[in-house]
Amino acid sequence: MRWFIIALIYVSTCFAQPDGPFLITSVEGPLHISDAKVVVDQNGIAHVFYARTNYTASAIEYVTVRAADGEVLTQPLSIFEADSETVQLDDAALDENLNPVVVTTVSRGISHWLVVLRRSNETWTETSVAHVEEYFTMPCGLSHSNFTGSRIVLASSSMLQIVTSETGNACPGFPEPYSIPIVCFFESVDNYDVYPLWDFEGFMWPSSLRAYSYSADSLHVWTMSYMGINTRLAVGRDGLHSVVASYDCQYGDLAGMRVGVDEFIHVNGMNLCIPPCYTLQRISADSCNWVGEVHTFLGTTPSASVYESHGFVIPTFDYEHVELVRVDTEANLASSTGTIGWRDGDVNIENASTGVSAQGLICAVWGDHNSNSGTDRLWLASCDWLTPLDAREAPAPVPQSISLSTYPNPFNSSVRIDYELPHASDTRVSIYNTLGEEVATLFNGHTNAGTHMLSWSPNSASGVYFVKLASGEFVTSRKILYIR
pLDDT tens digits for 34-43? 889 999 999 9
The mean pLDDT of the chain is 76
The mean per-residue pLDDT over the stretch 73-82 comes to: 92
Residue 248 to residue 389: CA distance in whole angstroms: 37
| Structure confidence at residue 170 (pLDDT) | 55
Nearest-10 Cα torsion for 100, 106, 112, 118: -20
Q: Kindly give the pairing relationship between strand 348-356 and strand 338-342.
A: unpaired
**pLDDT at 47 > cutoff 60:** yes
The answer to whether 339 and 387 have CB atoms below 8 angstroms apart is: no
User: Cβ neighbours of residue 76 under 8 Å, at least 6 residues apart?
Assistant: 25, 61, 62, 63
Q: Is 372 helix (H, G, I), strand (E, B) or coil?
A: coil
Continuous H helices in 70-207: none
The mean per-residue pLDDT over the stretch 319-348 comes to: 79
Amino acid residing at 161: Q
The string of DSSP codes covering 335-351 is: TT-EEEEE--SS-EEEE
The answer to whether 20 and 380 have CB atoms below 8 angstroms apart is: yes
Residue 292 to residue 189: CA distance in whole angstroms: 43
Residue 380 to residue 25: CA distance in whole angstroms: 10
Q: Is the peptide bond before 275 cis (omega within 30 degrees of 0)?
A: yes
Residue 334 to residue 16: CA distance in whole angstroms: 15
pLDDT tens track for 402-431: 889 888 888 888 888 988 888 878 899 999
The mean per-residue pLDDT over the stretch 64-85 comes to: 91
Residue 193 to residue 394: CA distance in whole angstroms: 48
Nearest Cα residue to 73 out of 97, 36, 48, 107: 48
pLDDT tens track for 173-217: 554 556 677 788 888 888 888 877 654 444 444 445 556 666 677
The answer to whether 34 and 351 have CB atoms below 8 angstroms apart is: yes
The answer to whether 342 and 321 have CB atoms below 8 angstroms apart is: yes
The answer to whether 379 and 452 have CB atoms below 8 angstroms apart is: no
The answer to whether 222 and 234 have CB atoms below 8 angstroms apart is: no
Residue 429 to residue 426: CA distance in whole angstroms: 10
| Structure confidence at residue 241 (pLDDT) | 60
| Structure confidence at residue 232 (pLDDT) | 59
The answer to whether 247 and 210 have CB atoms below 8 angstroms apart is: no
| Beta-bridge partners for 234 | 220, 242
What does each C-alpha distance from 143 to 85, 139, 171, 198 come to in angstroms? 20, 11, 7, 18
Residue 468's pLDDT band (cuts 50, 70, 90): very high
Domains of the chain: 19-384 (2.130.10.10), 403-482 (2.60.40.1930)
Amino acid residing at 351: N
Q: What percent of the chain has pLDDT over 70?
A: 66
| Structure confidence at residue 211 (pLDDT) | 64
| Structure confidence at residue 282 (pLDDT) | 60
Residue 449 to residue 277: CA distance in whole angstroms: 17
| Structure confidence at residue 179 (pLDDT) | 65
Q: Which residue has the higher pLDDT, 395 or 483?
A: 483
What does each C-alpha distance from 111 to 90, 224, 362 come to in angstroms? 17, 26, 37
Nearest Cα residue to 251 out of 209, 283, 280, 226: 280
Residue 392's pLDDT band (cuts 50, 70, 90): low
Among 134-143, 168-177, 271-280, 328-337, which range has the highest average pLDDT?
328-337
The answer to whether 464 and 480 have CB atoms below 8 angstroms apart is: yes
**pLDDT at 395 > cutoff 50:** no
**pLDDT at 60 > cutoff 50:** yes
| Structure confidence at residue 403 (pLDDT) | 86
